[in-house]
């Protein structure tokens, strides 16, 4: 990595350490419940003994354990096959919005959440892939720095995941405000359904997008080339706006549920740790496992 790109990566990575410290704590708490969830299968680590049943290969009998009783026992190993987990953070113009300077933008929060998730996935033995124009396989800190560098050069008009090849039956996590034409999102979800993917929609919103707290005459400037919109009385629109946002959230939740996915809302003026924990717990609840 050249010095300029490394400097850019370090600038973005400076956002991460506090969250990664907390991510380490979360990982230690949920390790057995998520990445360390133990299943019988092909692997090297011992899991448990179980009684021999007809059809079990004779070479799997543990004669030392069996000699302690008058029963035959099989030595089972822990399943060690890693899953593919694909991660995508929306980089469109609307994601740059923030109401208050002390809060992160939606882009920053989506990136931090998924980079922390990537760290936990890799430490848990999973295969994490960042979806970009050139997908990035994440291997330790170097992988995180490569992602940070790529984020500096990603066009801000990319409001949908790139059409990278994705393994069937994998997991995928999309972090966005999902302020895109409904038909585009429907088409994307149909594409993922054809691959039998399981995953999560992480719905990232600014606090003002939750409630429209403004009063009086207000001019709204678009972040994606839209014409300015003048509101003579913003406060008078609050009830209608809240209903529209509730409809948007409900649609995303139904879409996720119908695909067997999880819908996880997140507001940028709240701490990311609870959302990260919820994301891990929901992914772990998938019967196919992580």
> Is the same domain home to 68 and 7?
no
> Is the same domain home to 176 and 269?
yes
Residue 226 DSSP SS3 = coil
Give every CB contact of residue 94 below 8 A, 6+ residues apart in sequence. Answer: 106, 159, 177, 179, 223, 224
Question: Is residue 161, in this structure, part of any structural domain at all?
Answer: yes
- Can you give the pLDDT at residue 247? 94
**Residue pair 212/274 in contact by the 8 Å Cβ criterion:** no
At 210-253, the pLDDT tens digits run 888 888 887 777 666 677 777 777 777 888 889 999 999 999 99
> Is the same domain home to 87 and 61?
no
Question: Is residue 185, in this structure, part of any structural domain at all?
Answer: yes
Question: Is residue 41, in this structure, part of any structural domain at all?
Answer: no
Query: First vs last Cα of the chain: how many Å apart?
Result: 32
**Residue pair 259/189 in contact by the 8 Å Cβ criterion:** yes
> Is the same domain home to 56 and 136?
no
> Is the same domain home to 196 and 52?
no
Question: Is residue 63, in this structure, part of any structural domain at all?
Answer: yes
Residue 149: beta bridge partners?
none
> Is the same domain home to 252 and 163?
yes
**Residue pair 267/100 in contact by the 8 Å Cβ criterion:** no
> Is the same domain home to 102 and 239?
yes
> Is the same domain home to 65 and 147?
no
Question: Is residue 289, in this structure, part of any structural domain at all?
Answer: no
Enter the tokens of residue 243. Answer: 């209903």
Please give the angle made by the CA atoms of 15, 174 and 17, to the nearest 5 degrees: 15
Task: Report how far residue 131's alpha carbon sits from residue 129's, in angstroms, rounded to the nearest whole number.
Answer: 6
> Is the same domain home to 28 and 101?
yes
How many residues does this entry show for the chain? Answer: 290
Nearest alpha-carbon partner for 86 in 222, 238, 285, 283: 283
In this structure, which long-range contacts are made by residues 27-31, counting pairs with CB atoms below 8 Å and at least 24 apart in sequence?
27/120, 27/123, 27/124, 30/277, 30/280, 30/281, 30/284, 31/124
**Residue pair 233/207 in contact by the 8 Å Cβ criterion:** no
- Can you give the pLDDT at residue 33? 46
190 vs 95, 164, 173, 187, CA distance in Å? 24, 15, 15, 5
At 167-220, the pLDDT tens digits run 888 999 999 999 888 899 999 999 999 999 999 999 999 999 988 888 888 777
Question: Is residue 290, in this structure, part of any structural domain at all?
Answer: no
pLDDT above 80 (res 79)? no
> Is the same domain home to 114 and 175?
yes
**Residue pair 212/242 in contact by the 8 Å Cβ criterion:** yes
The whole domain housing 68 covers: 46-77
pTM: 0.72
Share of the chain above pLDDT 90, in %: 25
Q: Which of 54-68, 106-120, 206-220, 251-265 has the lowest mean pLDDT?
A: 54-68
> Is the same domain home to 64 and 100?
no
Q: Total structural domains in the chain?
A: 2
Task: Report how far residue 177's alpha carbon sits from residue 98's, in angstroms, rounded to the nearest whole number.
Answer: 12
Question: Is residue 54, in this structure, part of any structural domain at all?
Answer: yes
CATH code of the domain in which 257 resides: 3.40.50.410
**Residue pair 171/198 in contact by the 8 Å Cβ criterion:** yes
> Is the same domain home to 120 and 199?
yes
């Amino acid at each position: 990595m050249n010095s300029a790109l490394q400097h850019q990566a370090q600038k973005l990575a400076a956002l991460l350490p506090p969250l990664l410290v907390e991510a380490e704590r979360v990982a230690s708490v949920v390790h057995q419940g998520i990445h360390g969830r133990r299943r019988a299968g092909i692997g090297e680590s011992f899991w448990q003994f179980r009684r021999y049943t007809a059809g079990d290969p004779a070479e799997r009998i543990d004669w030392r354990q069996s000699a302690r009783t008058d029963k035959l026992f099989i030595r089972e190993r822990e399943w060690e096959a890693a899953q593919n987990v694909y991660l995508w953070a929306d980089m469109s113009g609307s994601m740059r919005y923030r109401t208050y300077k002390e809060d992160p933008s939606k882009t920053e929060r989506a990136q931090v959440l998924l980079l922390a998730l990537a760290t936990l996935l890799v430490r848990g033995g999973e295969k994490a892939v960042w979806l970009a124009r050139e997908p990035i396989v994440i291997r330790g800190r170097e992988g995180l720095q490569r992602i940070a560098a790529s984020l500096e050069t990603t066009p801000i008009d990319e409001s949908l995941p790139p059409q990278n090849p994705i393994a069937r039956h994998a997991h995928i996590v999309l972090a966005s405000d999902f302020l895109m034409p409904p038909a585009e999102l429907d088409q994307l979800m149909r594409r993922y359904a054809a691959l039998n993917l399981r995953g999560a929609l992480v719905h990232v919103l600014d606090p003002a997008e939750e409630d429209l707290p403004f009063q009086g005459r207000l001019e709204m400037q678009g972040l994606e080339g839209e014409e300015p919109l003048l509101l003579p009385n913003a406060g008078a629109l609050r009830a209608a706006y809240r209903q529209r946002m509730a409809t948007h959230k409900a649609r995303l939740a139904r879409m996720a549920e119908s695909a067997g996915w999880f819908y996880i809302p997140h507001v940028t003026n709240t701490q990311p740790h609870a959302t990260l924990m919820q994301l891990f717990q929901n992914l772990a609840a998938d019967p196919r496992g992580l």
